[in-house]
Structure 1
Amino acid sequence: MDLNADLGEGFGRWSLTDDDALLEVVTSANVACGFHAGDPESVLAVCAAAARRGVAVGAHPSYRDLVGFGRRYVDASRSELVADVLYQLGALSGLAQAAGTRVSFVKPHGALYNTAAAGGAHGEAVVEAVRRFDPRLPLVVLAGSPLEELAQAEGLRTVAEAFADRGYTATGALVNRRLPGALVTDPAEVAERVVRLVTEGVVRSVDGDDVPVHAESVCVHGDSPGAVAVARAVRAALEAAGVAVRSAVL
């Protein structure tokens, strides 16, 4: 099972995630590309640190929403969004190459991730941008989402993703961050959820139902409360359960 986290999400003098500590735990790093977070110097440093540890570097493109941390929907045209995603992929690719590594996958961020997951014009824009940039790059998608089918139809490899620390509805969708139950912060509870996800293929919804989820990668949000403790608990629990933790994209 692949374990990923969002990294490089500071900006200038402000830091949001403990990138060094998380890079000791995860196998794939979703690195900010500047549109929701991430200045060039810090992104270059994260790429270099990932390269030293053998962690896969992925592009984490966003809507152009630096103030809102990429968590607000932006009503961009399809052509504008294609160009914005391409711009971010190119920027991270250059920094990754300079750091001795490369972009190995793409995972949209925040509101773009959620909107693209439903397919539609913005899902099509993300797929088109990845295909035009490098059709060999895997696209990380919400497990069971319309985007998974859309990307595969366009010839892209997909990596189905589940979330360790996010609440799920009975339909398998993520609980809106503004609602109760959106985040799970207790390390032991998160670890137990992930082990069940990997070994049984289910996740407990906020309604108390077991929802089937098939995933190749599990995300721990780097900006969540106690992210490092959660990530460590998840990895330890997976290894204790006999699950090999390795990147799904290398």
Structure 2
Amino acid sequence: KAKIITTETIVDFTEETKPEIKEPKIKPKVKPKVEVADTKQTTKTPKPPKTTVKNNSSDKDAIYRIKLGAFSQKLNAEKLKAKIIHQGLEAHIEKDTKSGLYKVYSRQYSNRQAAENLNAKIQKLHLNLGKTTLEVINQDDFNDVEAQLDTGWIVQIGIFSSKTNSLKLRDKIRKKGFISFVDEVLNSKNQTNYRVRIGPYATREEADIKKKEIFKTMNLKGLLKPHEKKKVVTK
């Protein structure tokens, strides 16, 4: 038998690798920001008039009050005082002996913050006061000078035989923001007594308001009396 030899041709089929086709990245469309103007109208609050500070004392022994205005004519000072009182606040007029001006003041305080709060409250009333002044004054100097006035009304809180006790009560009253002083008088036995008083105030009506206020604040009863100039005790 004849042998038939076949040769196999081995063909290596390799798969062609198709090139990768990268799809282009499509960026999402970004909507442009549209700025919307604020249609709300903002009302600018006018800045209150500047408050200056006049300091004549250390904080330890100080009282505080607001000078609301100064006028050459007393009538104008009276008008401003009436405006302040009409708002339910206190005000009084003092004549400056050096300048001759009639100055309108708020009530006095032993606490600086209380005086500043009052000033802020007054500015919100829009009374066109202009510049106001926070005055810092020595209690003894201020109250004792006030006591030298010849006229007015006072509220008498008590009479003591002890000068020390009278001055202690005076100081307690001052710390609550009242104008207070001690003067000395002779009693029927020719002995020295010390009277604790608040004021003086220009009118009986003002003194009566203070009488009610000190009773409400400190539970102290007082008597309304015409002010009389006596020797003031300071120490």
Instruction: Settle same-fold status: TM greater than 0.5.
Output: no
Give TM-score scaled by structure 2 length.
Answer: 0.24
Give TM-score scaled by structure 1 length.
Answer: 0.23
| Higher gyration radius (CA) | 2
